């Protein structure tokens, strides 16, 4: 039975256009020669890309965001593996409460977390530092990494682990040679989602960033409060290109179905 009828094809086509249209418009606006947000019709220009790469504020903010997202996503992945192992493979009092606590950043508004972290870091005198931003982002994005690692671990068969240990392998060797490689798709998927969430985080970061540690979303927000020009669209195009490139590399190396769904 053919389920792809005319209505389904039209619906999915319109839905795809609806999703892609804003990105296409932004990409076109980035090549406008005008000083305002407008879609070029007769002439195209790369003047706003040149202006972007010559703007030290945007370049520094981009580097800060890349470094921050990389460190935060890596930290979340390193913490997510033992947390997932403990929550799924061991039974102890308060396990459900601990699971809810680790996932609570998804339920608490970022503005509330930003104010709370601002107060906390002020007490220790580290507010505005890059270290405080990394710690804050690890907490904010940790649930994304944890959930995908747990999803990958649920579908993981333990028979190879039992076979390895019955043949004399230590617990560490079994984990390093069998468990960890089997969890790699889930770890990579969690890392990618955590990286994207950290790179895009604005609300809580506004409270914690200093002039020396401005991230790209904060820099864009500050720029748009002063003036709106096509340089913002040029920034969006650069981010889109990086995202598409990352997705392509991951698809070639691992496969997006494994990375984004934690399949083994």
Supply the DSSP symbol for 54. Answer: T
Check residue 264 and give its pLDDT: 55
Cα dihedral value 165, 168, 171, 172, nearest 10: -130
Count of alpha carbons within 13 angstroms of residue 123, beta-carbon side? 5
- Domains in the chain, CATH or no CATH each: 56-261 (1.10.3720.10)
Pick from 72, 85, 81: nearest CA to 185: 81
Check residue 1 and give its pLDDT: 44
Check residue 158 and give its pLDDT: 82
CA-to-CA separations, 172 to 31, 163, 164, 202, 219, in angstroms, rounded: 54, 14, 11, 39, 44
Most confident of 77-86, 174-183, 249-258: 77-86
**Is the pLDDT reported for residue 254 higher than 70?**
no
Helix (H, G, I), strand (E, B) or coil at 103: helix
At residue 206, what are phi and psi to the nearest 5 degrees?
Answer: -55, -35
Check residue 248 and give its pLDDT: 79
Q: Counting Cβ atoms within 10 Å, is residue 148 exposed (0-12), middle (13-18) or buried (19+)?
A: buried
Count of alpha carbons within 13 angstroms of residue 182, beta-carbon side? 18
Joined together, the tokens standing for residue 72 give 């935060």
Q: Please state the rounded mean pLDDT for residues 131-160.
A: 89
**Is the pLDDT reported for residue 84 higher than 70?**
yes
Supply the DSSP symbol for 106. Answer: G
Rounded CA separation 53/58 (Å): 8
Nearby residues of 174 by Cβ (< 8 Å), 6 or more positions away? 161, 164, 165
Pick from 174, 185, 175, 102: nearest CA to 151: 185
Check residue 249 and give its pLDDT: 74
Find the length of the chain.
264
Q: Please state the rounded mean pLDDT for residues 52-69.
A: 91
- Better-predicted residue by pLDDT, 47 or 3: 47
Which residue, chain included where needed, has tokens 């682990």?
Answer: 161
Joined together, the tokens standing for residue 253 give 């190396």
Joined together, the tokens standing for residue 213 give 């540690």
Helix 56-89 to helix 180-200 angle (10° resolution) is 140
**Is the pLDDT reported for residue 236 higher than 80?**
yes
Q: Counting Cβ atoms within 10 Å, is residue 18 exposed (0-12), middle (13-18) or buried (19+)?
A: exposed
Joined together, the tokens standing for residue 68 give 């921050």
Q: Please state the rounded mean pLDDT for residues 142-151.
A: 90
With a pLDDT cut of 70, the percent of the chain lying above it is 94
**Is the pLDDT reported for residue 49 higher than 60?**
yes
**Is the pLDDT reported for residue 189 higher than 90?**
no
Check residue 257 and give its pLDDT: 67
Average pLDDT of the chain is 86
């Amino acid at each position: 039975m053919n389920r792809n009828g005319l209505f389904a094809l039209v619906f999915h086509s319109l839905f795809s256009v609806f999703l892609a249209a804003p990105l296409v418009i932004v990409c076109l606006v980035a090549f406008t020669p005008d000083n305002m947000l407008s879609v070029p019709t007769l002439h195209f220009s790369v003047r706003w890309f040149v202006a972007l790469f010559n703007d030290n504020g945007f370049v520094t903010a981009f580097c800060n965001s890349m470094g921050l997202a990389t460190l935060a996503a890596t930290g979340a992945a390193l913490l997510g593996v033992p947390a997932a192992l403990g929550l799924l493979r061991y039974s102890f009092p308060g396990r459900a409460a601990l699971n809810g606590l680790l996932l609570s950043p998804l339920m608490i508004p970022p503005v509330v977390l930003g104010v709370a972290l601002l107060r906390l870091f002020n007490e220790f005198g580290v507010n505005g530092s890059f270290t405080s931003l990394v710690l804050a982002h690890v907490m904010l994005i940790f649930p994304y990494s944890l959930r995908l690692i747990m999803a990958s671990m649920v579908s993981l068969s333990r028979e190879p682990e039992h076979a390895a240990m019955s043949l004399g392998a230590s617990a560490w060797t079994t984990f390093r040679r069998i468990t960890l490689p089997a969890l790699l798709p889930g770890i990579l998927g969690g890392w990618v989602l955590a990286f994207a969430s950290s790179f895009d985080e604005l609300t809580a970061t506004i409270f914690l960033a200093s002039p020396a540690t401005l991230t790209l979303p904060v820099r864009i927000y500050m720029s748009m409060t002063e003036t709106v020009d096509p340089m913002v669209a040029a920034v969006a195009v650069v981010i889109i290109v990086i995202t598409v490139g990352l997705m392509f590399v991951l698809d070639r190396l691992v496969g997006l179905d494994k990375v984004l769904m934690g399949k083994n």
